[in-house]
Amino acid sequence: MGFSLTLGVTITCRAAIAWKTGSTLAIEEVQVDPPKAREVRIKMISTGICGTDDHAVKGLLSVNFPFIPGHEGAGIVESIGEGVSSVKPGDKVLTLAIPQCRECSSCLHPKGNFCEKQDVLPSSGLMLDKTSRFTCKGKKIYHSFRASTFTEYTVVPEIAVAKIDAAAPMDKVSIISCEVSTGYGAAVNSAKVTRGSTCVVFGLGGVGSAIVMGCKASGASRIIGVDINEEKFPRARALGVTDCLNPRNLKKPVQQVVMEMTRVGVDFAFEAIGLSDTMIAAWDSCHRSYGVCLMVGVASSNSQLSLNAPDIISGRTLKGVCLGDYKTRDCIPQLVTDYLQNKINIDPLITHQLPFDQLHKAFELYHAGKT
């Protein structure tokens, strides 16, 4: 693909902008600056809608407006800034909401993946040099986690770019950049779900479904799925959920029902919604002694989690997990290769594919619980 015409110049293209908290996204003409040193400009091919985008647009997370949302994306490198060595124009890449700088305390630790150069918690909406690469109608537009993807072109730091297999189908693999790595990785890489184990997954959206896939692939014998939207149940069952629960139809708290169903509590519980109540329910669904509870959902800014304090000594593990605990640049490209080699199948996680100008429709389907 030839990008020589755009090299070094500002590109004018379309992007979706969240102008203010809770407003619907507006597709606008934006200017995208060339990449500065150690930055990459990418022509976006596909993007997914992640629950975190919805939280950000609604103002549940602390982000700066106006901004270009999206962080789950697949694209082709258009140009690179000075000093970029890991990708070149024409490479297929994924954007990464959590970068991997390979220099900070998290990156250097064998278990860490929450790179200090991330821009999610807290979110400045700016590149590492504290400036933006987007302008619309003469106004500065903020980035989303330094990975804005609801745009035809984006600029991201090199440390937030994962080069993927040249054979990757670009209309599909965008979901590997967040949903699949987050959910599948939470089960397989972070919790290390064991064969024959019992699991419960709170929230059967994109991330919860990928968690179910990971539990199933790990050989879990029972997977309980919890969601208030029963339309999610048939697909969840197809992915491996053995029992579906709608907390709104239960006479008792859902954790009590899970306890009764499993007699002793589950081996692994996952929360993939982002509410403190369901986080507590997930924690209380675990076996008191050896249960492991993974918090995957992103809770709203400044919300608190309150647990019964004396009970904490019984031995359960509570763990937060971001992007499946993967060191993002090192590990996420392998998931794309695994997909190409039929080791994982992400196809059932894709419910709709729409052209960019129908992003509103995509959000409508998402809000209607159809995705």
Ligand X SMILES: NC(=O)c1ccc[n+]([C@@H]2O[C@H](COP(=O)([O-])OP(=O)(O)OC[C@H]3O[C@@H](n4cnc5c(N)ncnc54)[C@H](O)[C@@H]3O)[C@@H](O)[C@H]2O)c1
Q: Which residues bind ligand X (CB under 6 A)?
A: 50-52, 55, 178, 182, 202-208, 226-229, 232, 247, 272-275, 278, 296-298, 321-323, 369
**Minimum distance of ligand X from residue 347's CB (angstroms):** 17
**Minimum distance of ligand X from residue 202's CB (angstroms):** 6
Which candidate, 200, 189, 287, 283, places its Cα nearest to that of 241?
Answer: 200
Q: What is the per-residue burial (b if ≥16 Cβ within 10 Å, else e) of 105-131?
A: ebbeeeeebbbebbbbeebebbbbeee
In the complex with Zn ion, which residue's Cβ is closer, 32 or 210?
210
Does residue 80 contact residue 161 with C-beta atoms inside 8 Å?
no
Residue nearest to ligand X (CB): 205
C-alpha 175/C-alpha 225 separation (Å) is: 21
**Window 72-101: residues binding Zn ion (CB under 5 A):** 101
Token pair 């975190």 is at which residue?
A: 52
Q: Phi and psi (nearest 5°) for 245?
A: -125, 135
Among Zn ion, ligand X, none, partner that 73 touches (CB below 5 to 8 angstroms by kind):
none
In the complex with Zn ion, which residue's Cβ is closer, 107 or 245?
107
Token pair 């990418």 is at which residue?
A: 42
If one asks whether residue 178 binds Zn ion (CB under 5 A), the answer comes out as yes
Binding mask 99-138 for Zn ion (x = CB under 5 A): --x--x--x-------x-----------------------
Whether omega before 122 lies within 30 degrees of 0, making that bond cis, reads yes
Does residue 14 contact residue 28 with C-beta atoms inside 8 Å?
yes
Note the Cα 102 to chain centre separation in Å: 21
**Minimum distance of Zn ion from residue 324's CB (angstroms):** 11
In the complex with Zn ion, which residue's Cβ is closer, 95 or 285?
95
**Minimum distance of ligand X from residue 271's CB (angstroms):** 8
In the complex with ligand X, which residue's Cβ is closer, 30 or 331?
331
C-alpha 370/C-alpha 356 separation (Å) is: 18
Among positions 6, 46, 47, 52, the unique one binding Zn ion when judged by CB under 5 A: 52
Token pair 């901004």 is at which residue?
A: 67
Among ligand X, Zn ion, none, partner that 297 touches (CB below 5 to 8 angstroms by kind):
ligand X
**Minimum distance of ligand X from residue 13's CB (angstroms):** 26
In the complex with ligand X, which residue's Cβ is closer, 57 or 344?
57
Q: What is the per-residue burial (b if ≥16 Cβ within 10 Å, else e) of 86-101?
A: ebebebbbbbbbbbbb
C-alpha 200/C-alpha 328 separation (Å) is: 26
**Minimum distance of ligand X from residue 228's CB (angstroms):** 4
Residue numbers of the site for Zn ion (CB under 5 A)?
50, 52, 101, 104, 107, 115, 178
